[in-house]
Chain A
Amino acid sequence: MTILNVIQEQNIISIVSAEKNCPASLLREKGLEAKVFPHLFPDGKNTYDDNTRDQIK
């Protein structure tokens, strides 16, 4: 109960991490999906823009 009380007494912090930033271009920027989902692309490789994808037929 004490832990809950301590949590309830805390002030709620609000953050705005992407405020007033210009949107990134979907076509020009490379490896965009790796930047958006770092938990799915932990090494930041094998994205759609990689040259190895050209081999797909």
Chain B
Amino acid sequence: MKQILMTFFLLSTLKTIRRMSPIIDETRIHTRSFINSMIDQFGFDPCHRVLSKGNIPTRSVLLNNLIGGKLPDEIRILNDLERHLIAIRLPFMKMISLPKGGQKGFKGPVVFVPSEVQNTVNSLPRPPNKSAVIRLKLKRNLNYRGWYKYQMICPDRAHDALRILQKINQNYNEIEIDDDNYDYFQWDEHLINFTNADCNDGW
């Protein structure tokens, strides 16, 4: 596994080197010396036959479009429960701890249940302070007393992440958020005027 990862890393770096110097004809020599240095250093040969001919190996990350997209900061700062809130499908699996190394594995089938992101995120409380945190429990069933996850979350972060995902992710096209950067100082006036008008009409 370590070798495979190292190969992917090498191939991506080689490709970038080539892209950065398209005019120079000595790219092939560069790559060859690079590979030789890697063989000296790590003791293995990353797809030497293909690369020495100047081709990209079929297993490379670039050829198969396996490079991940750029992760926006709004999604990166989310904590565990907030990531659960914005996911469209929730995975359920039986986790076990593996005998050595302290790693976790899963056993048996995995079930993916569709999650109602729009209803969930729209029904979160909106505290006046945008950086406020609330305590939230994620349960499997509302009637159960136990919970799956109990954490402090910031509702505004979830909103922000969904707004970003709506722009860049096709799966989030149908999801609509009620408020677009709400401002309670304006909303108070609006509500006061609305209630006054309503009362006057009623009387």
Interface of A toward B, CB cutoff 8 Å: 7, 10, 12-19, 21-24, 26, 29, 31-32, 34-46, 50, 52-53, 55-57
Task: Report if A42-B171 is in contact (Cβ < 8 Å); known contacts: A12-B137, A13-B136, A18-B114.
Answer: no
The answer to whether the Cβ of B34 comes within 8 Å of any Cβ in the partner chain is no
Interface of B toward A, CB cutoff 8 Å: 58-59, 63-72, 75-76, 78, 83-91, 110-117, 119-120, 123-125, 133-142, 147, 150, 152, 165, 168-172
The answer to whether A16 and B64 have CB atoms under 8 Å apart is no
A11 closest partner in B (C-beta): B135
The answer to whether B139 and A15 have CB atoms under 8 Å apart is yes
A13 in complex: contacting residue of B86, B137, B171, CB < 8 Å: B137
Contacts of B140 on A, CB cut-off 8 Å?
Answer: 16, 18-19
- Complex-state Cα separation, A12 to B145, whole angstroms: 13
The answer to whether B91 and A36 have CB atoms under 8 Å apart is yes
Which has the most chain B C-beta neighbours within 10 Å: A21, A39, A40, A52? A39
CB of A29 to closest CB in B, whole Å: 8
The answer to whether B139 and A14 have CB atoms under 8 Å apart is yes
Which has the most chain B C-beta neighbours within 10 Å: A14, A17, A29, A39? A17
